[in-house]
Amino acid sequence: MPPIVAIRDLARFVGEQVTLQGWVTHRRSKGRIAFLVVRDGSGNCQAVASVQDVSADQFEQLARLTHESAVRLTGVVREDERAPGGFELQLAGVETVQLAEEYPIGRKEHGIEFLLDHRHLWLRHKGPWAVMRIRDEIVKACRDFMYERDFLLIDSPILTPAACEGTSTLFETDYFGAPAYLSQSGQLYVEPACIAHGKVYCFGPTFRAEKSDTRRHLTEFWMIEPEIAWAGLDEIMALAEQMISHIVARVLERRSEELAILERDTTKLESVTPPFPRLSYDDVAERLTRPDIVARAQQAGAPPFQPGSDLGALDETILGEMFDRPLIIHRYPTAVKAFYMEPDPERPDRALCMDIIAPEGYGEIIGGSQRIHDHELLARRIDENGLPEQAFRWYLDIRRFGTVPHAGFGMGIERLVAWISGARHTREAIPYPRTLRRLYP
Ligand code: 4AD
Ligand code: MG
């Protein structure tokens, strides 16, 4: 029996007989010769048979193979520069494992909604295949980056009793008769853990019942959230900038084939190195109120930026386009940010927080801050925000037993994947997107 080989490894088997297991993506016959292209998840390979190479029955089978039929092909590996992937299989045997029914995704252009309705099949195609491989590399790069810097993984719960990022985007579930909410962020749970371990992170799915129907919003997305004891805003800005640069460099190094499939302009990624520009919210507000920028927002039909308010999607796009690498914006007004953010001692109406805006219009990819560590102040902020004190008792406890300054951030994986791979929409950056209008498949 010839060895079963992945297409990726064919180079090691030139001149030998092997078996490939895969799915038919193309088939054509020219008289006494049949050509197939198969995909096995690791790559694509062309296979060729003339009528005398295989049995009459097998040659018949070849002629009947439909798009996405599952096959086992046996043959000798030949080097051929003209073949996709550089190798070709000279067929000696074919086994049809399943003859596929008429495949719904054709060669013609399909609309995005049709493709998303068939996401379970669309995942096989070149574009999604490349994006998922880039996503995998990004996730691995995140975990390696944390591990190499002695951050401990602390998994946070998904079922929670309280809100972290505002009560208007909570998904409520029935927890044996009492309300429970799907986690919006693991932050509240990594804060206590950083007091136990110094440097920690969580990495998992998070949920926002967000009524925003934009290319940046999912209702279920993955977030990595480091948290560091004895750290402040400067430390997390430095960490975030190193982390993003590390991830981009790693994808450029190991996923160049996938970036090429997606026709990603990699020169735009090569400039992503520290230091990133750092602007305060007030610097940014000054830029956004310049007449030329105001005119641009008007043209785009977006409401003009109001100093003191949070940034809108278009504001972030405009700012992101001003630089060739991610932009760090720090010290937003406390009034527009979350209840747990430490006020700037030099200017208490500004928070010790930062957002990182990706270039090329991908918007905010990171949000983070130093956390309030004073018990009285935090209790007051919880009360002012109308949050139920009972549900936050344990969180306030951390401020009663050896409280110290600490800081962290959250990075949304899909926005990062969309930006790095050049996908138009975050829904293409996750295998099975959940959005305002989609819970299928
Ligand atoms: O800015 P956010 O809401 O921050 C937090 O959740 C903090 N508790 C994190 C922390 O400090 N540990 O969200 C962080 C990031 C955003 O910058 C964005 O990348 C992503 O999560 N994100 C979303 N991604 C896709 N769809 C959504 N609806 C998202 N909301 C946030
Ligand atoms: Mg944010």
Are 180 and 265 in a shared domain? yes
Ligand 1: which atom is nearest the Cα of residue 187? 12
Which pLDDT band holds residue 26 (cuts at 50, 70, 90)?
A: very high
Are 70 and 130 in a shared domain? no
Q: Is 414 in contact with 202 (CB distance < 8 Å)? A: no
Are 83 and 158 in a shared domain? no
412 CB within 6 A, ligand 1: yes
Q: Which of 66, 117, 25, 103 is nearest to 437 (CA)?
A: 117
Are 27 and 77 in a shared domain? yes
Are 235 and 151 in a shared domain? yes
Tell me, in angstroms, the distance from the centre of ligand 2 to residue 356's CA: 9
Q: How far apart are CA 289 and CA 133, in angstroms?
A: 41
pLDDT of res. 144: 98
Tell me, in angstroms, the distance from the centre of ligand 1 to residue 367's CA: 6
Report residue 171 as tokens.
């998904």
Q: Whose CA is nearest to atom 18 of ligand 1?
A: 412
Residue range(s) defining the domain that contains residue 42? 7-98
CATH number of 128's domain: 3.30.930.10
Q: Whose CA is nearest to atom 31 of ligand 1?
A: 412
Q: Name 317's Cβ contacts closer than 8 Å, sequence gap at least 6.
A: 361, 363
pLDDT of res. 79: 96
With respect to residue 328, please indicate whether it lies within any of the assigned structural domains. yes
Q: Is 31 in contact with 48 (CB distance < 8 Å)? A: no
Tell me, in angstroms, the distance from the centre of ligand 1 to residue 308's CA: 21
Q: Is 223 in contact with 185 (CB distance < 8 Å)? A: yes
Q: Which pLDDT tens digit goes with each residue over 326-359?
A: 999 999 999 999 999 999 999 999 999 999 999 9
Tokens 């895969």, located at residue:
22
Mark which of 98, 130, 145 sits at the end of a domain. 98
Are 68 and 149 in a shared domain? no
Which pLDDT band holds residue 302 (cuts at 50, 70, 90)?
A: confident
Are 146 and 85 in a shared domain? no
With respect to residue 436, please indicate whether it lies within any of the assigned structural domains. no
Report residue 276 as tokens.
């990133």
Q: Is 250 in contact with 422 (CB distance < 8 Å)? A: no
With respect to residue 273, please indicate whether it lies within any of the assigned structural domains. yes
Which pLDDT band holds residue 65 (cuts at 50, 70, 90)?
A: very high
Q: Which of 243, 284, 255 is nearest to 366 (CA)?
A: 243
Ligand 1: which atom is nearest the Cα of residue 408? 11
CATH number of 52's domain: 2.40.50.140
pLDDT of res. 84: 83
Are 138 and 89 in a shared domain? no
210 CB within 6 A, ligand 1: yes
pLDDT of res. 164: 87
Q: What percent of the chain has pLDDT over 90?
A: 93
Ligand 1: which atom is nearest the Cα of residue 221? 25
Mark which of 46, 66, 98 sits at the end of a domain. 98
Q: Whose CA is nearest to atom 21 of ligand 1?
A: 412
244 CB within 6 A, ligand 1: no
Tell me, in angstroms, the distance from the centre of ligand 1 to residue 412's CA: 6
Report residue 19 as tokens.
């078996």
Q: Is 230 in contact with 404 (CB distance < 8 Å)? A: yes
Mean pLDDT computed over every residue of the chain: 96
Mean pLDDT confidence for 68-89? 95
281-288 vs 313-320: helix axis angle to the nearest 10? 90
364: β partners = 357
Mean pLDDT confidence for 237-246? 98
Q: Is 53 in contact with 94 (CB distance < 8 Å)? A: no
pLDDT of res. 85: 86
Domain count, the chain: 2
With respect to residue 111, please indicate whether it lies within any of the assigned structural domains. no
Q: Which of 223, 371, 434 to mutate to test the pocket of ligand 1 (most atoms within 8 A of CB)?
A: 223
Are 257 and 179 in a shared domain? yes
Mean pLDDT confidence for 67-80? 97
Q: Which pLDDT tens digit goes with each residue over 397-433?
A: 999 999 999 999 999 999 999 999 999 999 999 999 9
pLDDT of res. 303: 86
pLDDT of res. 163: 86
Q: How far apart are CA 151 and CA 161, in angstroms?
A: 26
Which helix (H) or strand (E) segment holds residue 46: the answer is: strand 44-50
With respect to residue 107, please indicate whether it lies within any of the assigned structural domains. no
Identify the burial level of 398 via C-beta atoms within 10 angstroms of its C-beta, where 0-12 means exposed, 13-18 middle and 19 or more buried.
Answer: buried
Are 36 and 124 in a shared domain? no
Q: Which pLDDT tens digit goes with each residue over 121-172?
A: 999 999 999 999 999 999 999 999 999 999 999 999 999 998 889 889 999 9
Are 259 and 401 in a shared domain? yes
Q: Whose CA is nearest to atom 29 of ligand 1?
A: 217
Residues measured by CB to lie within 5 Å of ligand 2, the ion: 367
Ligand 1: which atom is nearest the Cα of residue 223? 21
pLDDT of res. 249: 98
Are 76 and 143 in a shared domain? no
Q: Which pLDDT tens digit goes with each residue over 184-222?
A: 999 999 999 999 999 999 999 999 998 999 999 999 999
Burial code (b: 16+ CB inside 10 Å, e: under 16) for 54-69 equals beeebbebbeebebbb
191 CB within 6 A, ligand 1: no
Report residue 371 as tokens.
């956390």
Q: Which pLDDT tens digit goes with each residue over 110-123?
A: 999 999 999 999 99
Mean pLDDT confidence for 225-248? 98
